[in-house]
Structures are given as structure tokens and as C-alpha cells.
Amino acid sequence: MQCFIVMQGQTYQEEKELGMIWSRKQDSGGNLPHSWRRVKEVKEEDRLFHYVKGNIVAISVAKTASRIAQRPSPHEQQGALGYLVELDTHELEVPIHIRSKIDVLVRHLPIKYSPFQADGNGNQGYLYPCNEELAIKLVELISDANIYQIDDEQLELAMSPVRQTEHDPFIPMLTETETELKTKIRLGKQKFNRALLPLWAQKCVLCDIVLPELLRATYSKPWKDGTDVERVDPYNGVLLCCNHHALYENGLIAFDGQGRLHIAARIPEEDYEKYSIRAKMKIARTEQNKPYFKWHKRHVFKG
């Protein structure tokens, strides 16, 4: 299951009534923008979050994979050829206002093709990818706002959460989405961990700590930014103890292509010893680590 965010504005009502999303095959200049091309990637059972004027207003399940089809009427582009996906849409009783929730979402926004800016405003375009971590956060926000417990008296009779009616497929769909996304992340990270540990002799590459409880398989290119292949590639990471893991993940240390340590200016030199780090200390990296270290240093390091 993949997730997407569709930015719709005024086309939302019309596309909801038609039960689909649709993008043209090319713009007037003959180009195919990434956010249109992406409609081609949608498969049956994928999930789409609908963003309209600052809010997530609905979540859909793709009923079909994308196919080439004419734009259905009524529309000014009626008859034009494009990519079409049929949807089963669940409109939210309580929409999710992105700008007021951006604090919990911002760390899950990818560097490339992010649907939202760091201030919570939506980006231009039609269909954006939504990584599993961002999708889980959105599902949690949707559940918190839209699924409520019935009052105490009734609760004794029915201990399960309810929305409007007993048979509303909305709750099972949300639960299934969350479970599937979490399973994908868990299995991916397990595979990554298993393959990465032996590459670094099962110890922190900076301080040689070997206690397994303190060791973390740490991504250079994080899950939110990686392809499915990069997410399980053991060279996309380094084995670090909890402290060094936190420093690396937060961009306070980085490695260059040569495997040399770089330390952010926020950490004063007199404190290096406390953190068990030394300027320019070099680790034994492999060629395969190099592109990932460089990516991390460029995009995550707060030098």
C-alpha cells in the first residue's frame, strides 16, 4: 500500500462527485509535471489524503489502478486524455487543519516532493507522495478528531469506538491503513538492522560501545526520504550508540565522503571529550556508504 496527498482546491467537489482523480498527460508546453505523472503510480488499495484549502478533508481508497482515460464530463477539459484513478472517498466530519498541526508533521516531511512547507502551507501541484511515517501521523490526527467514544452510559454496552453508525466502514479502513503502514515500517527496519549490525562489527563506530541495548542502526538517508530499496540497504546507515545516534539523527554530527567526522558549531570544542568525539576522527567507511554519508551531510547536518 502506498499513500499520496492530492491537492485539489476547487476541483475537489467535482472530482468527489465523479469518484475519481484525473490528471492530463501533458501540459500546454508538452511537459509532464511530477505531480501529474505520479497519478500513473497509483495502484488499487492505495490511500489518498485530500487536501483542500489548508485542510485534509477526506481519505480515499483507490478502487482501481491508474489507467489512461478521457476526462469525464462535466469539465472544461472533457474528453482530453489523461490518467484516471477511481476512488472510494470517506469525507471527514472534522477536517485536519494542517498549519495548526504542522509541529507534529514537520519532522516527517520529505526533503524532496513535500506536499507541505515547513510553515504548514501547501505546495503547488496535484498529487504528492506521502511516506508511511507522515501517513501514520495523518491517520492518528484523523482518528483523534473523527472517532469518539459514545457517552459513558452507552460505553458500558459497547466498548468499541463509534463514529456515526455501527456499520460505517470508515473505522475499519483507518485501522487497516495504520496497521499496514506500521507493519511495513517494522519489517523494513528489522531487515535494515539485521544487515547493518555485522557491517560495523556490532559496536558504535565512534566510541566502541558494544552493549546491544545501547546500539542503534542509524539511517543516513532517513526512512521518509528513502526509496523502498534505500530503506533496507545496510550501507544507508551506520551503527551508533544512543548518544551518537541522537547527534547524527539531529544533524549535529556527520561524516563526509572520506568517512571523516564533522561536528556542528553548536557543540563547543571543549565539550568534544564529554561526547566522546574528536574533530576529524575518521571511520572505516566503504564505497557504498559514500553517497549516503554525503546526502546526510548535505541535507541533515546543521554545520
Nearer to Zn ion, 221 or 244 (CB): 244
Under rule CB under 5 A, residue 173 binds Zn ion: no
Please list, residue by residue across 131-157, b when 16 or more beta carbons sit within 10 angstroms of its beta carbon and e when fewer do: bbbbbbbbbebbbebbbeeeeeeeeee
Q: Dihedral of CA 187/188/194/195: which sign?
A: positive
204 contacts Zn ion (rule: CB under 5 A): yes
Stretch that binds Zn ion, among 19-27, 103-111, 118-126, 199-207 (CB under 5 A): 199-207
User: Which of 244, 297 has the CB closer to Zn ion?
Assistant: 244
Comparing CB distances to Zn ion, the nearer of 52 and 240 is 240
**Binding-site member from 207, 246, 281, 283 for Zn ion (CB under 5 A):** 207
DSSP 226-295: --HHHHH-TTSEEEEEHHHHHHHHTTSEEE-TT-BEEE-TTS-GGGTTTTT--TT-B----GGGHHHHHH
* Least Å from the CB of residue 241 to Zn ion: 3
C-beta of 34: minimal distance to Zn ion in Å?
Answer: 39
47/244 with CB nearer Zn ion: 244
126: CB partners within 8 A, 6+ apart: 6, 7, 8, 21, 23, 33, 35, 36, 38, 39
* Amino acid identity for residue 194 in this structure: R
Using the minimum distance from each CB to Zn ion, give the nearer residue, 34 or 282.
282
| Binding flag, residue 206, Zn ion (CB under 5 A) | yes
Give the chain's length. Answer: 303
Task: Tell me the per-residue interface mask from 232 to 251 with Zn ion, x by CB under 5 A, - otherwise.
Answer: ---------x--x-------
Select the span of 59-67, 196-204, 256-264, 288-296 touching Zn ion (CB under 5 A).
196-204
Binding site for Zn ion (CB under 5 A): 204, 206-207, 241, 244
